[in-house]
């Protein structure tokens, strides 16, 4: 008797809690009116805004949000920030709690994770109504923010791209000419071989990048191939085998640094080998030029870095844009203000000048021109922006990244190549294992 008396509240309490938690997951979302879906309504009240970045980007982001609040009295922007890696993990948990910020910064590569779960509002109605002006954003850039259904779920505000970063000074000293514009993969290899013959022994012509997904994307796009076919890999096993074999041959020839050195390399551009003069060249984001040169300056050797587009293939340039931008989640209760904020971010001159392409080149062509025309713009930053213009002018291919791209595809790709590089798997074995893991993971 007594025993039951003691136990019952415990069990009942647990059951209630379980029910509460399960119910919490099905928590309803605000019903938006048609006007709200078009981004129309009073621009006032609070919105939450989240982005990723380090201290310096946080500072300029804060300034832009401050001017928005000044421009629209009665609005208040609550800011949330984290570094890139932790940002997306937190966003996943926020998504679970239907608690995403009204204006959420996303990257095109992660967009699929959110569209597949229908967590975002399409922005097209807000563009049609004029709430968000996209007239100065090139079509090819805008399209990177579209979901599989063709609707725009992210307004791209900054565009990054990968480049071949080369230590010009070392190349000069070795007497090798930089690859000429429009160079292809064979020219790239020839460049590395020439450099290898002339460089000092402790400087490798390139970092070992067989496991870098972006480089492979450029290779596939340059061949006119497709990366993804819906939720499956769109390229053949043969193509990947050929690509990884190429890297293994390069490593065998001594054109690369060691796999162990490569896997301990920190992710931030300042600490990369190319920024320390330890390798001649590397595939690096174009906007890493300024920070990387900063480190190289610190070595006191006076060496200079420059950036080139990635090698082209038979089908032309494979340089894709890696855009980031702003999205509005379905759980947002203040859509008009969120839309106004995005519009302000994408079009306001003061915002463009202040932010100064702190996360990829600004996508609004007029704002970009202002930055290029600015006489005080540092040369390196100018070069980052010019190369971006050049890549956009080439009408870069657009990749529709499936959900799970970063978590499944990128991690499996890097790991499979590491298995090859460290000799624990042959190229065909690693390709098979990668295909199985990626296709299973992306379909899930």
Binding residue (CB under 8 A) for another protein from 92, 130, 197, 236: 92
The smaller minimum CB distance to another protein, of residues 196 and 410, is found at 410
Return the half-sphere exposure (C-beta side, CA atoms, 13 A cut-off) of residue 371. 30
Question: Does the footprint of another protein cover residue 291 (CB under 8 A)?
Answer: yes
Query: Which tokens hold the place of 350?
Result: 């003061």
What is the C-alpha to C-alpha distance for residues 371 and 364, in angstroms, rounded to an integer? 11
Q: What x/- string results for residues 96 through 125 when contact with another protein is judged by CB under 8 A?
A: xxxx-------------x---xxx------
Query: Tokens 């000074």 belong to which residue?
Result: 169
108-115 helix and 84-96 helix, angle to the nearest 10 degrees:
10
Question: Does the footprint of another protein cover residue 93 (CB under 8 A)?
Answer: yes
State in angstroms the smallest separation of the CB of 286 from another protein.
12
Stretch touching another protein by CB under 8 A, among 11-19, 131-139, 241-249, 364-372 = 11-19
What is the C-alpha to C-alpha distance for residues 227 and 234, in angstroms, rounded to an integer? 5
How many residues bind to another protein according to rule CB under 8 A? 88
- φ and ψ at residue 378, rounded to 5 degrees: -65, 150
Binding residue (CB under 8 A) for another protein from 45, 74, 89, 172: 89
The smaller minimum CB distance to another protein, of residues 91 and 217, is found at 91
Binding residue (CB under 8 A) for another protein from 130, 253, 299, 366: 299
Site residues for another protein, 134-173, by CB under 8 A, read 160
C-alpha distance from residue 238 to each of 212, 311, 357 (Å):
18, 20, 39
Site residues for another protein, 321-350, by CB under 8 A, read none
The smaller minimum CB distance to another protein, of residues 236 and 299, is found at 299
Question: Does the footprint of another protein cover residue 236 (CB under 8 A)?
Answer: no
Question: Does the footprint of another protein cover residue 237 (CB under 8 A)?
Answer: no
Q: Which residues of 192-203 are buried (b: 16+ CB within 10 A; e: fewer)?
A: bebbbeebeeeb
Site residues for another protein, 404-433, by CB under 8 A, read 404, 406-408, 411, 414-415, 418-419, 422, 424
The smaller minimum CB distance to another protein, of residues 181 and 300, is found at 300
Question: Does the footprint of another protein cover residue 294 (CB under 8 A)?
Answer: yes
State in angstroms the smallest separation of the CB of 10 from another protein.
7
Query: Which tokens hold the place of 401?
Result: 């990244």
Q: Which residues 6+ apart lie within 8 Å of 251 measured at CB?
A: 208, 210, 259, 421
Question: Does the footprint of another protein cover residue 59 (CB under 8 A)?
Answer: yes
**C-alpha closest to that of 170 among 142, 145, 204:** 204
Site residues for another protein, 350-409, by CB under 8 A, read 358-359, 404, 406-408
Beta strand residue intervals within 242-350, DSSP E: 279-285, 305-308, 321-327
The smaller minimum CB distance to another protein, of residues 312 and 324, is found at 324
Q: What x/- string results for residues 238 through 277 when contact with another protein is judged by CB under 8 A?
A: --------------------xxxxxxxxxxxxxx----x-
C-alpha distance from residue 275 to each of 98, 267, 422 (Å):
41, 12, 25
Question: Does the footprint of another protein cover residue 56 (CB under 8 A)?
Answer: yes
State in angstroms the smallest separation of the CB of 246 from another protein.
20
Q: Can you give the length of the chain in residues?
A: 444
Query: Tokens 């208040």 belong to which residue?
Result: 76
DSSP state, 289? H
Give me Rg for the CA atoms of the chain.
24
């Amino acid at each position: 008797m007594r025993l039951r008396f003691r136990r019952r509240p415990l069990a009942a309490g647990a059951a209630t809690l379980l029910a509460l938690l399960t119910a919490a997951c099905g928590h309803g979302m605000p019903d938006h009116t048609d006007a709200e879906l078009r981004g129309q309504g009073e621009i006032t009240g609070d919105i939450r805004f989240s982005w990723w970045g380090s201290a310096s980007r946080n500072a300029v982001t804060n300034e832009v949000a401050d001017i928005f609040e000044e421009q629209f009295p009665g609005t208040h922007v609550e800011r949330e920030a984290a570094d890139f890696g932790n940002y997306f993990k937190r966003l996943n948990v926020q998504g679970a709690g239907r608690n995403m910020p009204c204006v959420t910064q996303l990257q095109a590569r992660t967009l699929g994770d959110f569209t597949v779960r229908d967590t975002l509002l399409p922005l097209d109605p807000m563009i049609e109504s004029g709430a968000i002006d996209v007239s100065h954003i090139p079509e090819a850039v805008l399209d990177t923010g579209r979901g599989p259904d063709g609707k725009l779920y992210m307004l791209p505000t900054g565009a990054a791209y990968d480049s071949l970063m080369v230590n010009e000074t070392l190349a000069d000293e070795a007497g090798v000419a930089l690859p000429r514009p429009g160079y292809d993969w064979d020219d790239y290899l020839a460049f590395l071989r020439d450099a290898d013959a002339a460089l000092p022994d402790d400087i490798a012509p390139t970092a070992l990048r067989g496991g870098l997904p972006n480089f492979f994307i450029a290779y596939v796009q340059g061949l006119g191939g497709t990366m993804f076919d819906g939720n499956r890999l769109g390229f053949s096993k043969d193509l990947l085998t050929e690509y990884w074999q190429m890297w293994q041959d390069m490593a065998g020839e001594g054109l690369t640094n060691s796999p162990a050195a490569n896997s301990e390399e920190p992710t931030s551009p300042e600490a990369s080998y190319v920024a320390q003069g330890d390798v001649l060249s590397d595939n690096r984001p174009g906007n890493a030029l300024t920070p990387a040169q900063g480190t190289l300056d610190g070595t006191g050797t006076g060496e200079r870095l420059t950036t080139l587009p990635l090698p082209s293939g038979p089908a032309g340039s494979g340089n894709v844009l890696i855009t980031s931008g702003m999205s509005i989640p379905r759980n947002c209760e203040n859509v008009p203000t969120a839309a106004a904020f995005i519009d302000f971010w994408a079009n306001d001159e003061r915002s463009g000048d202040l932010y100064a392409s702190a996360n990829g080149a600004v996508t609004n062509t007029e704002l970009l021109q202002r930055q290029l025309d600015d006489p005080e713009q540092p040369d390196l930053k100018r070069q980052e922006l010019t190369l971006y213009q050049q890549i956009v002018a080439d009408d870069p291919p657009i990749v529709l990244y499936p959900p799970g791209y970063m978590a499944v595809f990128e991690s499996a790709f890097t790991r499979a190549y590491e298995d090859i590089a460290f000799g624990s798997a042959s190229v065909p074995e690693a390709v098979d294992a990668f295909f199985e893991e990626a296709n299973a993971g992306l379909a899930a």
